[in-house]
């Protein structure tokens, strides 16, 4: 390829879920599309490649689900309680977990478009499956009961999602340039006309009639994390790609785009204390540690510091990473006994896990690296005495099995720690993505400037769309948001490009 400028209709910056949905949607409008991916091909796919693949969408039960899961057998349907997850349920979850700060117009688009968008992804070749291992437990009657509004995940998790989207893009004639890091937008008074980039170390330009930014947030940028999220965030582990440096956001702000959303907020979870600085594709999402509702979490003083059973894991995990980061030395231990070990997710059984076990609590106390042993033993004694054992334990429901009289309550799934051998897992904070981003039109995904006017030729999707998430996040909504606004941004960009012919 020569160093002369490339001319195309639409440039999509990024190559994850949102980006490929944008590229495929733009192709539906008849536009020629080039995708720019900063990573080399073997690391491509953005944060999407590191996800477990759970995807949240509104549905009215099995008939809707069969549009997404057409291969469900009669036995699978008979032996599962998929439930329903209505639009009202989705709306309620979005408003509740964001403390009613989420942008109502963006949520309207997200929720009402969710089912149709996932069905569209299926038509494009993305495969889905029931999320048995992560989102269901067996009832006493032997049925799988799905909980927390989630019952579907992408086949093959994040890697499977990216693989299928990449194949779909190739079938549709979308060109993908790897090791192509966007540097700035080509813009003037008439709007955005392309992208300046470095492609395999060489400066290039791509001239286009529309640009879609889908470059993720600034979670991989320690300087930006500290500047916007606050002191200590440079110490967080990064769950996903090392390439989400906030450059798409910066490029848009440089030409006058309006910042929007919870710039001091992020999605951050419990993550293995000894995980690497950035995500490891050989391990994927399995450094996460999300079965804490069935145990307790203690800090360096041996003290519990959060309500592990406040809600289903889906509605607390994305905010508890911040709470762990705020603990002394930025870590905690998750502690379980044998009564609940069978409920722990597969991520607790990986080779790379930081784990200790013991036959007595006294022995365990000595093995919890960095924890005051006496503080831990006193905490467990007080916790055990406070558990309402008269209330039945039921992992598929918010069972109300709580503690009584503690400064830090546990609201559900409280079990005494009294059945050895005991297991404990060292956990720190893993940041997934940042919540602050760009202001977009909720009906076109066109980026707005600081005067709230649309910037001609510029659209955005994925993590860098601001205004959706504040403080917290309902699990599985990120992929849905990326797909919904990616599809919308691509369609808008494609129409804008083709209409200029």
Strands 191-199 and 454-460: unpaired
Domain(s) of CATH 3.90.700.10: residues in the chain: 268-430
Cβ pair 463, 89 in contact under 8 A:
no
Q: Is the pLDDT of residue 1 over 50?
A: no
Q: Quick one: DSSP state of residue 42?
A: G
Predicted local confidence at residue 141, as pLDDT: 87
Q: Is the pLDDT of residue 2 over 50?
A: no
Q: Quick one: DSSP state of residue 188?
A: E
Mean pLDDT on 429-447:
98
Q: How confident is the model at residue 501 (pLDDT cuts 50, 70, 90)?
A: low
Interval 257-314: pLDDT, tens: 999 999 999 999 999 999 999 999 999 999 999 999 999 999 999 999 999 999 999 9
Mean pLDDT on 43-56:
96
Q: How confident is the model at residue 53 (pLDDT cuts 50, 70, 90)?
A: very high
Return the CA Rg of the chain. 23
Mean pLDDT on 24-50:
98
Predicted local confidence at residue 499, as pLDDT: 86
What architecture is the 268-430 domain classified under in CATH? Alpha-Beta Complex (3.90)
Mean pLDDT on 106-132:
98
Cβ pair 478, 51 in contact under 8 A:
yes
Domain(s) of CATH 3.50.50.60: residues in the chain: 6-217+435-499
Query: In Å, how far are 140, 222, 229, 336, 430 from 233, measured between CA atoms?
Result: 43, 7, 6, 28, 10
**What percentage of the chain carries pLDDT values higher than 90?**
96
Mean pLDDT on 157-164:
97
Predicted local confidence at residue 427, as pLDDT: 98
Q: CA angle, 125 as apex, 123 and 129 as ends, to 5°?
A: 95
How many residues appear in the chain?
A: 501
Which of 500, 440, 482 lies closest to 23, judged by CA? 482
Interval 327-337: pLDDT, tens: 999 999 999 99
Q: How confident is the model at residue 500 (pLDDT cuts 50, 70, 90)?
A: low
485 Rama sector, left if φ>0, alpha if ψ -120 to 50, beta otherwise: alpha
**What percentage of the chain carries pLDDT values higher than 70?**
99
- Diameter of the chain measured on Cα atoms: 75
Instruction: For domain 6-217+435-499, give the CATH superfamily.
Output: FAD/NAD(P)-binding domain (3.50.50.60)
Dihedral sign, Cα of residue 64, residue 70, residue 74, residue 78: negative
Q: Name the strand (E) or helix (H) holding 63.
A: helix 62-68
Predicted local confidence at residue 334, as pLDDT: 98
Query: If you write DSSP's letter for every residue of 105-173 in order, what string do you get?
Result: HHHHHHHHHHHHHHHHHHHTT--EEE-HHHHEEE-TTS-EEE-TT--EEETTHHHHHHHHHHHHHHHTT
Interval 337-347: pLDDT, tens: 999 999 999 99
Q: CA angle, 430 as apex, 425 and 436 as ends, to 5°?
A: 155
Q: Is the pLDDT of residue 467 over 90?
A: yes
């Amino acid at each position: 390829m020569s160093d002369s400028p490339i001319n195309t209709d639409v440039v999509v910056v990024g190559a994850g879920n949102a980006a490929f949905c944008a590229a495929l949607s733009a192709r539906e409008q008849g536009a020629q599309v080039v995708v720019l991916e900063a990573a080399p091909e073997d690391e491509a796919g953005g944060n999407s490649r590191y996800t477990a693949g759970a995807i949240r969408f509104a549905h009215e039960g099995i008939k809707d689900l069969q549009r997404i899961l057409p291969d469900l057998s009669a036995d699978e349907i008979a032996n599962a309680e998929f439930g329903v997850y209505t639009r009202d349920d989705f709306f309620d979850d979005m408003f509740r977990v964001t403390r009613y700060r989420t942008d109502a117009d963006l949520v309207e688009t997200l929720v009402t478009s969710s089912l149709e968008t996932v069905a569209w992804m299926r038509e494009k070749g993305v495969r889905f499956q029931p999320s048995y291992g992560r989102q269901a437990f067996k009832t006493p009657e032997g049925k799988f009961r799905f909980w927390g509004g989630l019952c579907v995940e992408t086949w093959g998790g994040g890697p499977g999602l990216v693989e299928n989207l990449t194949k779909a893009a190739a079938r549709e004639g979308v060109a993908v340039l790897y090791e192509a890091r966007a540097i700035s937008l080509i813009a003037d008074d008439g709007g955005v006309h392309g992208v300046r980039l470095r492609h395999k170390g060489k400066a290039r330009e791509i001239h286009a009639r529309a640009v879609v930014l889908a470059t993720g947030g600034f979670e991989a940028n320690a300087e930006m994390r500290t500047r916007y999220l606050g002191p200590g965030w440079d110490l967080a582990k990064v769950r996903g790609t090392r390439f989400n440096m906030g450059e798409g956001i910066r490029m848009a702000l440089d030409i006058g785009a309006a910042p929007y959303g919870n710039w001091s907020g992020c999605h951050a979870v419990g993550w293995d204390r000894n995980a690497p600085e950035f995500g490891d594709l050989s391990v994927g999402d399995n450094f996460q540690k999300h079965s804490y509702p069935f145990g307790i979490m203690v800090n360096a003083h041996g003290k519990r510091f959060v309500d592990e059973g406040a809600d289903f894991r889906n509605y607390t995990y994305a905010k508890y990473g911040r709470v762990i980061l705020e603990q002394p030395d930025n870590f905690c231990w998750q502690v379980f006994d044998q009564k609940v070990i069978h409920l722990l997710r597969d991520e607790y059984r990986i080779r790379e896990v930081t784990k200790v076990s013991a036959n007595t609590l006294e022995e365990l106390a000595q093995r919890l690296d960095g924890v005051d042993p006496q503080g831990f033993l006193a905490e467990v004694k007080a916790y055990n005495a406070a558990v309402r054992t008269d209330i039945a334990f039921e992992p598929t429901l918010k069972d109300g099995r709580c503690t009584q009289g503690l400064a830090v309550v546990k609201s559900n799934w409280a079990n005494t720690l009294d059945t050895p051998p005991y297991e404990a897992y060292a956990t720190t904070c893993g940041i997934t993505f940042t919540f602050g981003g760009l202001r977009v039109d909720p009906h076109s995904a066109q980026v707005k400037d600081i005067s709230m006017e649309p910037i001609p030729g510029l659209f955005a999707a994925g993590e860098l769309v601001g205004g959706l998430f504040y403080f917290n996040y309902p699990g599985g909504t990120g992929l849905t948001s990326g797909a919904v606004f990616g599809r919308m941004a691509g369609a808008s960009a494609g129409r804008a490009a083709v209409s200029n012919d």
